[in-house]
Structure 1
């Protein structure tokens, strides 16, 4: 008796792929402004954001991927735990940076992660970025530095916030590259379900060793924490993860540099943080870099394998 082979899923249109990427960047750009409205310690914000996001993803992974989870080797589990710890530290450092510096500076510096990704992928995965891609990354990085120039000059607490944001970028790159290393061994749903859960547990356990409240917040703060889990995390991250199945990882990573531009715009009416002309020029440079990387992506053949990016 003959069996009809399964029909492969149709490849989405370019409009759908790029539209999803744009919507993902818009979603993650709301993270920093929302965090400013949460009247809670940075560690608690990180812990609850990931806990609320991880719960449905882990349940889905347990329902649909139990056989897949059981088949993972101890080595893969080790990489998953390391990835989750890197993600937890990324959120802990970046969200803490928003207590010391402006939204524009913090988000601009944390989105320098493509530079660190390129470095780590070259060392760990032997992946290289072409000359045009490197030029685009350099232009985006220069624009991000301009956006945060005021804090570099101010020093003190603002400078400490910048340091925390850069640490967040480095840790996000570690999470990004580990995802590229292990994603061939499992589905996306299983990967994020496990990694988000590891990060959430790590942040919850951290409260046992620090004097930081985990409950007792106002209803508005709880609403913000749920909003952070739904909009930047579940919607934003999911769309960015979907994008890298059809677009190169460096392109998706550089495109997320539109986040500081949008976050800066949201901060004007919501937080009264008006950017100066230096920050506006920096935002323009970042956008031009994204356009250069888009041209580089159009010339890439064949499409690269998928990869899990980090976004805030």
Structure 2
């Protein structure tokens, strides 16, 4: 294996900061959730389009009807993931929303168990119960604040389930396509879905103040294209588990930024519940034997 030009942990760290900014940018924007999601995806597609047309457009011809169906489902799920997650930020805090959305690995396990009949291990059951306990604690604490905060938590959890569906339907197609082509296809379908959602809701495509366009473009460039591409680049030199664990720091980074930008100070239940959720997901992601049992 070739030596990386820089230590992989450096781009991983930058990637975590990049995705942590997603909720911050959404909260700074004043447009409707569907509009923010649309322009995030639209500008991502627009930026990728020249590179795709020059180097990867031939791969589209290799997609089967099944590939198009699964890509379409993945794109629709991704669209509604963004709509519900962005909407949740209107009701609950950045910390609660991002922690609950980060429960995706556990939702993914439920999906693979139901669809692919993967086995359930004791570690998975314990990890799931720990994470669920943490999410209940967060939601209970938010309910004490207001019913709308609890509503925001529910939206974030449904958004988490939807992004899991996006990953499950997309993983089979992704195996046969380059990252650029797969991303271009799914992001395009997601953009089209969001376009018709905005029309159906009667929301406005514009005009918006210059700062709104600034947040839309930053959402496309930093969390979408920079953050996730840095993770994908790092996978050449580190394991998937390293990336999975690194992503757990997204809600930590988002919560810290929210304190300074929005003065969203954390309650005791948010801190304790968030730590419990992250501990459960960490237990799920880690192969504990590698850490506690030495090879003979």
Which residues of 2 match residues 216-227 of structure 1 at below 5 A? 216-227=207-218
**Match of residue 96 from structure 1:** 87
Out of 53, 66, 78, the residue aligned to residue 62 of structure 1 is 53
Q: Deviations over 1:47-96 (max 9, x none)?
A: 00111112222332222112211121111111111111110010011101
**Match of residue 141 from structure 2:** 150
Aligned residues: 291
**Match of residue 159 from structure 1:** 150
Which residues of 2 match residues 136-147 of structure 1 at below 5 A? 136=127, 138-147=129-138
**Match of residue 271 from structure 2:** 280
| Counterparts of 2:55 and 2:119, CA distance in 1 | 35
Q: Deviations over 1:178-213 (max 9, x none)?
A: 222221111111111111111111101222211211
Out of 38, 53, 58, the residue aligned to residue 47 of structure 1 is 38
**Match of residue 171 from structure 2:** 180
**Match of residue 20 from structure 2:** 29
Q: Report the Cα offset of residue 169 of structure 1.
A: 0.4
**Match of residue 168 from structure 1:** 159
Out of 99, 106, 115, the residue aligned to residue 108 of structure 1 is 99
Judging by fraction of residues, say which structure has more helix.
2
2:255 aligned with 1:264 = yes
| Counterparts of 1:139 and 1:14, CA distance in 2 | 36
For structure 1, which segment, 78-87 or 140-149, has the greater mean C-alpha deviation from structure 2 after superposition? Answer: 140-149
2:74 aligned with 1:83 = yes
| Counterparts of 1:87 and 1:295, CA distance in 2 | 26
Q: Residue 278 and residue 254 in structure 1: after superposition, are their counterparts in 2 closer, same or farther (change >3 A)?
A: same
SS for the counterpart of 1:209 is: helix
| Counterparts of 1:228 and 1:57, CA distance in 2 | 14
| Counterparts of 1:229 and 1:118, CA distance in 2 | 28
Which residues of 2 match residues 204-243 of structure 1 at below 5 A? 204-243=195-234
Q: Residue 261 and residue 96 in structure 1: after superposition, are their counterparts in 2 closer, same or farther (change >3 A)?
A: same
Q: Is the 8 A contact 1:43 1:92 kept in 2?
A: yes
Q: Is the 8 A contact 2:52 2:180 kept in 1?
A: yes
**Match of residue 2 from structure 2:** 10
| Counterparts of 2:235 and 2:264, CA distance in 1 | 33
Alpha carbon RMSD of aligned pairs, Å?
2.8
**Match of residue 6 from structure 1:** none
Q: Residue 152 and residue 242 in structure 1: after superposition, are their counterparts in 2 closer, same or farther (change >3 A)?
A: farther
SS for the counterpart of 1:200 is: helix
Q: Is the 8 A contact 1:103 1:263 kept in 2?
A: yes
Q: Is the 8 A contact 2:35 2:205 kept in 1?
A: yes
Q: Residue 131 and residue 59 in structure 1: after superposition, are their counterparts in 2 closer, same or farther (change >3 A)?
A: farther
Q: Is the 8 A contact 1:267 1:273 kept in 2?
A: yes
Q: Report the Cα offset of residue 246 of structure 1.
A: 5.8
**Match of residue 294 from structure 2:** none
Bigger relative CO (Cα 8 Å, ≥ 6 apart): 2
Gaps of 5+ in 2: 292-296
| Counterparts of 1:243 and 1:298, CA distance in 2 | 24
